Amino acid sequence: MVTCGALKKCSVAGISIKASVFALSQRNGLHRTQAKAQIEKIEFEKRVTFLDFIHSGVKLGLLVAIDMTQSNRPPVNGASLHRYEEEGGNAYEQCVEEVATVMHRYLDNGLIAPYGFGSKLPPSSYTSHCFSLKGCYFSPMVRGAQGVLQAYRHALKHTWFSGPTLLRHIVSIAGSWAATEQHTEKYWVLLILTDGDLSDWDLTKEEIQKTV
């Protein structure tokens, strides 16, 4: 029997290997034969994993953007994706907790930037398509999944759902974050949670192209 370890050692040393085709074909359920197979060269290609990048010094940042448009319905509505849930959280809260909890392990500083889009922020009568859930545009960071949820719940009580659903502003702010780190080994992940009723798909695609 020829093991992968033996193949690798012989390949590095430049030694060819002769193996019985019976040993090779038996594994595939074929009939025994007296022929011989000779392996002259073998190459091993290492596949780089996500953790390999992390261990090599790559850092990650996370932005979370939550759809707060009127198509989601008010939180007091039992059919709303933002409905108040005492146990387990609503659909948006569950997604945030599951994704942010996992991502938190790989963030270089444990901080997350949570944003909302599609709401009016009193006393303004204009719809904001990119606002800090924390309430501070110039210092939007919070710590971990619980920090995001805390900011989200606070924003639910202090915003008026509006519309339409536009994503290009969120993508633009994500691009701005990434631009500040373009000469470093830090990459930003943008998590967008929406009910899917998008009104500016073409413009959003253009904005994505600008950021890559």
Separation of alpha carbons 6 and 18, rounded Å: 12
CA distance linking residue 101 with residue 148, whole number of Å: 10
In this structure, are 163 and 103 located in the same domain?
yes
Could you report the per-residue pLDDT of 161-196, keeping only the tens digit for each?
Answer: 999 999 999 999 999 999 988 888 889 999 999 998
| % of the chain surpassing 70 pLDDT | 81
The verdict on 198 and 95 lying in the same domain is yes
Dihedral of alpha carbons 133, 162, 206, 81, sign:
positive
Structure-token pair, residue 209: 């192209």
**Does one domain contain both 111 and 204?**
yes
DSSP conformation letters of 146-190? HHHHHHHHHHHTS-EEB-----HHHHHHHHHHHHTTTTTTEEEEE
Tell me: do 157 and 79 sit in the same domain: yes
Same-domain pairing of 101 and 23: no
Write out pLDDT tens, residues 68-112. Answer: 999 999 999 989 999 998 788 999 999 999 999 999 888 988 999
User: What's the CA gap between 108 and 119, in Å, rounded?
Assistant: 31
Q: Whole-angstrom Cα distance, residue 104 to residue 29?
A: 48
Residue 57 has pLDDT above 90, yes or no: no
Residues 6+ apart with CB under 8 A from 88: 94
For the chain, how many structural domains are there in total? 2
Full-model pTM: 0.77
